[in-house]
Amino acid sequence: MPKTIFERIVDRETDADILYEDEYVLAFRDIAPQAPVHILLIPKQHHARHATVPPENHSVFSHLLAAAQKVARQLKLEQSGYRLVINNGPDGGETVPHLHLHLLGGRHLAWPPG
């Protein structure tokens, strides 16, 4: 399987505006931001999507959420608020088959999403 764009970012083969990195997670700015703050958090280990992460790798979910909290603090979004989103599969609007968490903030976000 060819690498996804996100694997290429993890492997430093493609540039990204990286804000946070730890052993398990990389966070960088979305190239087409949908809000003043739009960060993507991805696991360094490849998983196509939320639905396909096997139980033995479920710790990836806590790593992503914990990293999102750190990035939200780093960007001073705790008081104003933010939204975390995972688009899964065709109906979810997923376009890159590498699990990722969107962190959106910096403006009021409408609900429900379109």
Q: Catalytic amino acids?
A: 100
Smallest distance, ligand AMP to C-beta of residue 105, A = 15
Q: Which part of the chain contacts ligand AMP (CB under 6 A), choosing from 19-27, 50-58, 69-77, 88-96?
A: 88-96
Among 4, 5, 53, 63, binds ligand AMP (CB under 6 A): 5
Residue 59's SS3 state is helix
Identify whether the C-beta of residue 105 lies closer than 8 Å to the C-beta of residue 34: no
Residue nearest to ligand AMP (CB): 87
- Residue 109: both structure tokens together: 């976000």
- 113 near ligand AMP, judged by CB under 6 A: no
C-alpha span between 3 and 113 (Å, rounded): 30
In terms of Cα–Cα distance, which of 20, 6, 9 is closest to 72? 20
| Residues within the interface to ligand AMP (CB under 6 A) | 5, 14, 16, 30-32, 40, 87, 93-96
